[in-house]
Amino acid sequence: MSAAAAGQVATWRAVLDAQSTLMRLYERELARDCGISLAWYDVLIHLAEAPDGTMRMNELADSLLLSRSWLSRRVDAMQAAGLVRRCQAADDRRGVCATLTSEGRRVHQQADRSHARSIRNHFSRFLAVTEAEIIEACFRRIGQHAHEALHVPGYPGTKEGNCIDRASRDPGRRQPASSG
C-alpha cells in the first residue's frame, strides 16, 4: 500500500473510531437524560418534522439515519411507552402510519436539548468554525456520492454490483467450487 493510500485508510479509521465512540457516548447520555435510545430519538425526530407529526411506516423506515431494521417492533415499544401511536393512512386505508403523541413531543424536545448538549460537549467544542465548515462540506460531498451510489445499478455494494452476482452473470469468469 502506498503512503498516500495508508494515510487515507488511517483517516477513514479515525473517522470510524470517532463516530462509533461518539454514538455510544450520545446513546448513554440520551438514555441517562431522557430514558430513550438513539434509535427511538431518530424516530421522534422524523415524526416531529413531518406534517401533523405523522408518517407512513415505509416512509419513516426510508428516512431513518440509524437502524431501519426492527422498525415495527420499535414503534410497538414506543407506542407502549406512549410516545407514538399507529393509525391508518388518511388517503389509503391499507397504509399504516405512526403519529407522535403529546408525550412523544415532550420527550422529543427533552431529547433535542440533551443531544444538542452532547454534541457541544463532545464534538463542536473541539472544532474551530472554519474546521467545522470544512468537515461539513467534505461530508456533504461524500454523503451525496454515497446516496447516489446506492441508487446506481451496477455500483459495487449494490445487488447488481455484487461481485458474486457479477461472476454468476459473466460466463468468462471462473466460478467458485461448490461445497456440495
In whole angstroms, what is the distance from residue 100 CA to residue 84 CA? Answer: 5
Query: Side chain identity at 10, as an amino acid letter?
Result: A
Looking at residue 65, its pLDDT comes to 73
Q: Report pLDDT for 176.
A: 44
Identify any residues that bridge with 100 across adjacent strands, giving them in sequence order: 84
Count, residues in the chain: 180
* pTM of full prediction above 0.85: no
Residues of the chain with CATH 1.10.10.10: 18-126
Q: What is the pLDDT along the chain (180 residues), one digit of tens a residue?
A: 898 888 999 999 999 999 999 999 999 999 999 999 999 999 999 999 998 999 999 899 888 876 666 888 999 999 999 999 999 888 887 889 999 999 999 999 999 999 999 999 999 999 999 999 999 999 999 989 988 888 866 655 545 444 444 444 444 444 444 444
Q: Record the cell numbers describing residue 157, joined without a space.
A: 455494494
Give the right CATH number for 18-126 from 1.10.240.10, 2.60.40.3880, 1.10.10.10, 3.40.980.10: 1.10.10.10
Residue 5, pLDDT score: 87
